[in-house]
Every structure is written in C-alpha cells, then in structure tokens.
Structure 1
Amino acid sequence: MRNSVDHPSAGPSVIQRVMSILNLFSRNHTVITVEEISEVLGMSSASAYRYASELSQAGLLARSSGKFRLGPKIIELEYLIRFYDPVISAAQDLMEGLAELTSCDVLLCNFYEDTIVNVSHIPGRTPARITYSKGLPMPLFRGSQAHVVLAHLDRRKLRRLYDAGMSDPALRPDVCAIGADWPRFLSALKAIRERGHYVSRSELDSSVTGFAAPVFGEAGEIVSSIVVAANTGLPLRMPEESMITLVVQTAQVLSQRLISHPK
C-alpha cells in the first residue's frame, strides 16, 4: 500500500490514512468519491484512486457506480463483534432481564481508549427517544454512561482526557458542575465512584433519565457501563432507589462473569 501514496515517508501513517478515509462515512454520507479521498489525504486523484482500489481489494471499501461504499470486511467484523464480543455476549441475557423488570430501554456502553460507544440496546415496553442509538459514539463528559466510566479511570488517563476535552461544553461550569475546574472534576468523580452509580437527568436527551453502573473486566479495569434509559415524563415501574439497585446488581453480575470467564 505504501506505493499508492505520493510521499510515503512523510505525513500520516498508512493506518491514519485509512482511518481518514473511513471517517468520511456517516449516516448521511454513505458513499464517497475519489475527489473526497484525494482532498482528505492531500494527494492526487490518481494516487487516491489507487489507494481506494487497494482498500477495495482488502474488503474495507466496495466500488459502487464510480464511487465507494463500505465493504464486506466491515460487515464481517460487525458480525463478529455483535455475536462474539465477550462483553456483549456476557451481557445479553442480563440486559433482556433488566429491560423486562424495568420496562425501560437498557444500553451497554463500551469504553475504548477515549471513546464510549453504545454497542447493544434492548428496547423497553415504552421505548425512550434516544439520540445515541446502537453503534454511535457517545459524549465522553455528558450522560450517565460517561460519568461512571470517568469515575473509574486512573488519574493520569483522566487528566489527559480532561485536558483534551476542555472545548467540550459539558466541562463548562454553567453547563455541568463536573467540569468547573480540575479539583472539582476529580471530587465529583470520586463521589460517583463511592456511590457506585450515576443518575443523569436530560443530559443527553431532554426527555430521558439515565441510571448507570460500571462494568469491570478481568484485570479490574473499567470496560463498560450498563444504562437504563427511562422516559422522564412517564412514571417509573418502581421507585428510583429500586431502579438503581437493579442496575448496580446487573453490572456487578456482568463484571463477575467477565472476571470468572475471560475470553
């Protein structure tokens, strides 16, 4: 693939170039052109076409009427994640049971380095209007899923994320008290860690209340969060304290499964 770029020894790595191309895709932009690839990579159209052709041969892209769409390898990888990811597999029946007990939506939000993604979603009897549906990256500083993840990161990584996210509106004190400054940010997360859960009210969607608890992996690291998303305007099937207890217990059982049966 190195021969496909104009100056292979300078600039972004091959992986960075591939990600730049894949990042062109979105819900509203499902096919891309050679011109777009040329612009994002800063190379000639001929080199961009050769680059896209090699990605098509690898299955990451597929030609479609002179343009390119996501290829079969992406579908294969999505299948493997959906059915064989250890966290998703271990959580499935627990999430279904939680949705049945609460009548609310249940989400599994996995943490990947500096990104939180809704990887599994079980609708409740009265589905909530959730913006960040399955497969979408979620805010790192807003929402119940984010608070319980951040609360269990080590300080060095937390500081890096905090510094990188200073432009995030959620870190402004007038938007969210968690980000007033670094000491208060740490203090707020410590309180969440001690409680073992977090309840968000209209932080991501104005009509949704989120109840979240942390999920830990084999080495005791934070890997995910279990979230119950309830319609704010509708009465809960049970008191909030009971809802919180169920979410925390579900997350604990899932954590124990991951620790006892690592894959």
Structure 2
Amino acid sequence: MLSILNGFDEKNLTLDVGRAAELCGSSRASTYRYLQALTRSGLLTPASGGNYIIGSRVIELEMLKRENDPLARVARHLIRFHSEDLELNVMLCNYYGDKVLCTDFAWTDHSIPEIYKRGRSMPIFKGAMAKVILANLSISQLKSIYAHNSERISENGLGDTIDAFMRNMSGIRSAGYCITHAEVFPGLVGVAAPVNDTEGRVLGSVVLVVSTQQFEEICETFLIDKIKEIAADIERSLQRKTMTVIAARPRRNPAYRD
C-alpha cells in the first residue's frame, strides 16, 4: 500500500487509481481501498478528475522530523555558523532507500541561485554529496548495488567492472572527501565529506557548493580541510547527544534511479 506514495515526485504531483494500481501491483478494487486508507490517514487528499495529491499529514510529519531528528538538529546551527564564517554555501544531505536528499542548507553566497530545496532528491551516482555517501556504505551493500546497477554505474564513470567500482569507492572513502564538477548543476562544484554515527556508519554528508570560478580562486586544500572540519564538528556534537542515531539501510537489491 505504501508503495503508492513512490508515485509522487517533482514531475508527478498527482496520481489516479490506474497509476496507483501499477505501483502496488494490486487490482483496481484493492487499490481503491488502499487509496481510501491513505486518505483517511491524511497522507493523500482527493483532487479533481479522480486524482489524488499528497495530504496534509505529510507536512505534519516533516515538521516532526525536522524538529526531532538528531542529525538535523545538531547540524542546523553548525552549517549556518560555518557558512557565515566562510561566506560559502553549505548543504546537509542524508539518504534512505535509493534517494539522497537535501536535508538542510545555509545559503549565504547569493551570487549562486538558491537551487536546492529541503527534501529535494538527487541522483545517487552523481554529485559529491551522493558519491561520498555511496563510498562509505559497507562492502556487501556496494556489491549488491553494483549487481543491480552496473550499467548506471558505468555510465557515470564509477567503474566498468565491480573491481573498478570498488577501487573508486575505496579511494573516496580513504580520502575522506569527494569533489565533483558540474555533475548535478552546470557551473557548480561540490566538495563533500561524510557524516558518520558513533559506530562509523554513514548517516549522510555535508557539502560546500561553490561556483567553478570560486573553486579556481580558492585553494582546493582549504576547501577540503573546511568540509572535513564541518563534518567532524557535526559528528562530535552527535556523540554528545544521548539519543542514538541509526544509519539508514538501502533497500534489499536496490535499483537506483537518476
């Protein structure tokens, strides 16, 4: 039933019974009952033409997540402090399943358009913010990801074989950072570092978003050191919290999408 919610994204803001039936693999009669249950829970709202849109309960859940998620609470003030100090844009990302999401951002350099939004999903194989998360997944997770996404991995230059893919991931993991140029948006460079929990499992990433011109003018080593410092500050603050933060787990046999 909940797979129906996977039908919503920035290009698909409504769905009907037929589309919902495709998503959950059920008959139209069963799907209609699922839609009614989701509507009663507030996750969906009926719209004109027999369509459904995202319900108001989602707004409430987003507020609860934003206000009570340990990573978001800890990082909220830290990314703004560092953004103002550096006069550079800083973004916090996390992941679930097959998506990397913008969780929060501090956008102090308005010479770069404010193109990111909280909750915006991004491709798992493109961009520093995603690659640095990917590289810090477990060996077994990476092997599973490659087994079901070898073509997509090759298309994005991450390796034509599993050995090449694993070497590339190991290189990023060992370096402790990732830099990409114009992979998500033209003219922008991402400099990212992972954020791990107390057991060393990756929770998400933090990334400096700079223009190509800025990257050429600022010392690369300086940017690398700063993004590692921001990630370390977040991790230290997490360690001081009594609540345990559990790293997300990719879906079994996930097929990742751009």
State the TM-score bracket (shorter-chain normalisation).
0.7 to 0.9
Could you list the runs of 5+ residues in structure 1 that have no partner in the other structure?
1-16
1:93 pairs with 64, 71, 77, which one? 77
Alpha carbons 1:104, 1:126 under 8 Å: kept: no
Does residue 105 in structure 1 map to residue 85 in structure 2? no
Q: Is the 8 A contact 1:56 1:63 kept in 2?
A: yes
Task: Indicate yes or no: 2:188 matched with 1:208.
Answer: yes
Higher Cα Rg: structure 1 or 2? 1
Within 5 Å, give how 1:92-241 maps onto structure 2. Answer: 92-126=76-110, 128-129=112-113, 133-168=117-152, 170-172=153-155, 175-176=156-157, 178-234=158-214, 238-241=218-221
Sort the Cα spacing of 1:153 and 1:51 in 2 relative to 1 into closer, same or farther, 3 A: closer
Alignment of 1:73-92 (within 5 A): 73-92=57-76
CA distance in 2, matches of 1:139, 1:235: 23
Q: Name the SS for the 2:7 alignment partner.
A: coil
Would you say 1:54 and 2:34 are equivalent positions? no
Which has the higher relative contact order, 1 or 2, with Cα contacts under 8 A spaced 6 or more apart? Answer: 2
Q: CA RMSD in A?
A: 2.4
* Distance in 2 between residues matched to 1:101 and 1:87, nearest whole Å: 21
When normalised by structure 1's length, the TM-score is 0.82
Q: Which amino acid aligns with 1:97?
A: F
Q: How far has the Cα of 1:68 moved from its partner?
A: 1.9
Q: Is the 8 A contact 1:25 1:31 kept in 2?
A: yes
Q: Is the 8 A contact 1:212 1:247 kept in 2?
A: yes
SS of match in other structure, 1:220: coil
Greater mean deviation of Cα atoms: 124-133 or 209-218: 124-133
* In the alignment, structure 1 residue 27 sits paired with structure 2 residue 7: no
Using a 3 Å threshold, how does the CA distance of structure 1 residues 235 and 214 change in structure 2: closer, same or farther?
A: closer
Indicate the SS of the match to 2:53: strand
Cα distance change on mapping 1:165 and 1:247 into 2, 3 Å: same
Larger CA deviation: 30-39 vs 71-80: 30-39
Q: Counterpart amino acid of 1:158?
A: L
Q: Partners of 1:148 and 1:37 in 2: how far apart? A: 34
Residues in 2 aligned to 1:22 and 1:113: alpha-carbon distance in whole angstroms: 14
Count of residues in correspondence between the two structures: 242
> Structure 2: how far apart are the matches of 1:254 and 1:246?
12
CA distance in structure 1 between the partners assigned to 2:215 and 2:183 by the alignment: 19
For the 8 Å contact 2:150–2:160, the answer to whether it is kept is no
What 5-or-longer segments of structure 2 have no aligned partner? Answer: 244-258
* Residues in 1 aligned to 2:176 and 2:18: alpha-carbon distance in whole angstroms: 50
Tell me how far 1:114 sits from its aligned partner. Answer: 4.1
State the Cα deviation string for residues 174-225 of structure 1 (Å, max 9, x = none): x52x313222222222222222111111222221100101101132211111
Measure, in 1, the Cα distance between the counterparts of 2:103 and 2:209: 15
- The 1:236–1:133 alpha-carbon spacing in structure 2 relative to 1, beyond 3 Å, is farther
Quick one: which amino acid aligns to residue 195 of structure 2?
V
